[in-house]
Structure 1
Amino acid sequence: MLRDLQASASSDGDVIVPKVINAAPSLEKAEMYGIDDQRPASSRMMALAGRIFIETIPQWLAAGGMLALIFGGCCSNVFALEAIVKVEPDSGTLLTFVQFLFVAVTGYISQFDQDRPPLFLRPNRVPIRRWMFNILLFFTINVLNNHAFSYNISVPIHIILRSGGSITTLAAGFLWGKRFSRIQVIAVTLLTIGVIIAAWSDQQSKKDVQTSQETPPFSTGLGILFLAQVLSAIMGLYTEETYKEYGPHWKENLFYSHLLALPLFLPFLPAMRRQFLKLAASAPLGMPSYESFSNLPVDVREGLNRIYIPSQLAYLVMNVLTQYACIRGVNLLASAASALTVTIVLNVRKLVSLLLSIWLFGNRLSPGTLLGAVIVFFAGGMYGLEGNKNPSRSRHRVSASNSKVG
C-alpha cells in the first residue's frame, strides 16, 4: 500500500513520508498485565507487582508524610507539653502565646501578596468582623485549656476529658436546631459516663496528694476544662455557619484567629515574663559528654562544653514546632481524605498520645480512670462513624483547632 502511495505521489511531484508506527508502549503495557507474555507466571506476577509498586510510590510517600506529621508532630507535642507542665504547671499562658505568635508568623506566608502594600495581605474572603467573635472564642478556649494544668490536671486526664468534646457539641447543636441519630445520642451518653468515671476516679486518687501538698483544687480544673469544651462547641457551630456562607477558607481562619488574638495577651505580660524567667532558669539540657568530642580541637571542645541551653526553653521550642507540624498534618489529611478517615486517625492519635504519656512519664492511672478512657475512646469512635453516615444531621468539620494537644 505504501508503494502504491509513493508511486502516485511521485507522479504528482509530491513527496509523502510514510508514518512511523511505534508499538513499544502497547507492547510494554501488554507485558505489564501479562498479555501475550511467554514468561512463567511467577515472573509475570513479580513484574506486575514491581510496576504497581513503582507507580504508587508518590501516593505512599504522601500518605506516609501526612501520618508522620500527625503522629510524629502531635505525639511529640504531648511529650514536650508534659515535660514543661511537670516542672512549671503555671506556664500555660506563655505556652499559648508562643504558639499563637509562631502560627501567626508562619500563616503570614500563605496570606502574603506583594502587590498590596503596606501590609501585603491578600484580600479577605471572609469579612474581618465575621472572624472577631471566632477569634475571641478561640483565644479563650486555648488559654483555658492550657491554664487547666495549674489545677492539678495531669496530661493523661487532660487528653481523656478533651476527647469527650462530642458531649457539648451535641448539646449545643441541639439548641442550635440540629438533630442527631439514635446511635449518636447513645454514643454521647457513653461519652458522658466515661468522662464522669475517669474524672471521679482521678479525683479520688489525688485526694491525699491535694491534702498533703496543698495543691490547687482538682474540681476547679475540671470546671475550667468543661467551660472550654462548651465554648469550643459554640465556636465549632459558628465556624461551620461561616464556612457555609463564605466557603471553607481554613488558612485565612487559622491566620487571623492567631494574629488578631495577640493583643489579647497584653494583660498577661507580667505573668508571662515571670513564667519565661522560670523556664530560662531551668536546668541545662543534657549535652553529649566531654569524651564524645575527643577528635575535635581543644578550643572547639571547650566552647561546646560552655553551651548552656535551658531544658524548659528547649521543650518550649519543641512544643511550638511540633504543634505546627501537627496542625499541617491534620489539615493535609482533611483535604485529601474523607471525614471518616480523619475521625479514625485523630482518635487513634489521641489514644497513642495517652499511652505515650503514661509510658514516658510514669503516669499511673487508677483502674476507674482507665475504664473511663476506654469508654470515651470507644464512644468517640462510634459518634464519629455515625456522624459520617449521616452528614445531613451532623456535619463533621476538621479545623486547625482540632489538632491542639489532647
Structure 2
Amino acid sequence: MLRTEVDVLTLTATPIPRTLYMALTGVRDISNLNTPPEERLPIVPHVGPYSPKLVRQAILRELERGGQIFFVHNRVNTIDAMKAHLSQLVPEARVDVGHGQMPETQLASVMHRFNAGDTDVLLSTTIIESGLDIPNANTLIVDRADTFGLAQLYQLRGRVGRGAARAYSYFFRHRKLSPTVEGQQRLEVIAENTQLGAGYSIAMRDLEIRGAGELLGTRQHGHIQAVGFHLYTRLLADAVRQIRRIEVSKNGEQKSEGRKIDVALSSLTQPLSMPVNVDLPLAVGIPADYIPDQDLRLRLYRRIADLRDATEIDALTSEFRDRFGELPEMVENLFYQMRVKLRAEKAGLSAINWESGQVVLRYPASEDRDGRRLPDLGPGIRGGKNAYWCSLGEKWKERLLETLSLLVDNGKVT
C-alpha cells in the first residue's frame, strides 16, 4: 500500500510545528511508533542552575561504572576555557574537545578516540546532536540549555541511554542570569517528558509555544501564541470552510463537491486532545504465538490505537475472543491500558506513570495555579502542584480506573 499511494515518507522524532499541525488537521497522514527497543530505560533528568559540584558528581559516577560523558558547550570561542575548567574540576577524567570548526581529520580522530573508549568526556558543540550511537556514553551534560530549542534538547538527550544501562541528563542554565520565559518553558517541558517515546508530546508543546506557522507560506512557526492553539484551529477551519462555500455557491452544479469539501474539512473541527503517555508496570502486546501473522498483528495494533471509547474496546475484545480464543495476559493488559488512556484523555491528563510504587496522574504544565496544590481526592490520593500521587494498594488497576472516572466526572479539581 505504501509503495502505491505514498510518494514522500518523512521520519522524525520531533516534527517542526508546521509539519505537526499539517498532520493534526489532516493535510498529512501521520503514524506513531511508540514501542521502544527492548531493555531501554527512561533517562533521569535534572534541570537547574549550573553547579560545578553536581557536574563533578555526575562525571565521577559515570566513570565509576566504566561509562563515558557527553558535555555540550555550544560556544567555540570559549570551549577551550571550559576544557580547562573541567580538567581542574575532575582531574581524574580524560577530556577531549570536538566542534565543527576543527579540521576534518582532527575531528575524526577525536571521535574515534571517544568511540574506542580512550576519552572519558567529549566536550563538544551540538555536532553530536544526531547520528551518534555510543551505548557506553550514558551521561549528558548541557551548558546553557535554556538557549536551545526543544527539538535540539530532545535530540541531545537521545545521545545517551541507547543501551540497557540507566542514563542521566543534566540541563543547566546560567547561575546568575534568569532564562527567558520561552527558555524556562522549554526546560520545564524537557524535564516533564521523561518517558520513552516522548518526542510527540514534546513536539505538541513546541507547537503550542511557537505556533504553527503558515501552511502555504515559508514560516515554519508563529501566530498561534496570540489566540491559543485550539482557538486558532477553529478559526482556520471556519475561514477555509467559508472560502470553499463561497466558491461552490458561484456554481450550483458543484453542490456535491461542496458536501465533499465539508466532509474533508470536518477533521479540522474534531476535538484535538494532547496524547497521553501511559507507563505502567504491565507487559502489553499481541504475542506471536497468539496471532502468528505479523501483518495481521500490525493491522490489529492500528485498530486498537484508533479506539475512541469503552464500547469500541468491548466490541474489539469480543472479536478477539471469537476469532483467536481466550485473551493472553499481555492482550488483556493492552486493552486495559487503552481504557486507562481514553479515560485519561477525557480527564485532561498528559501522562500516567508508575514511580516508587505509586501511580502518578500528571496534568499538562499550567501557569494559572499560582503554585497552589491540587486538592486531595481521598485516602491514598494526594494532590501535588500539577499531579496526583496515588497509593492504590494491591487492586490498583481497578482503583485507577475508578479514580480516572472521578476526574472525568468532576473535571480538573481546582
Alignment TM-score, normalising by the size of structure 2: 0.22
**1 or 2 for the larger relative contact order (CA 8 Å, sep ≥6)?**
1
Alignment TM-score, normalising by the size of structure 1: 0.22
Select the structure that is richer in helix.
1
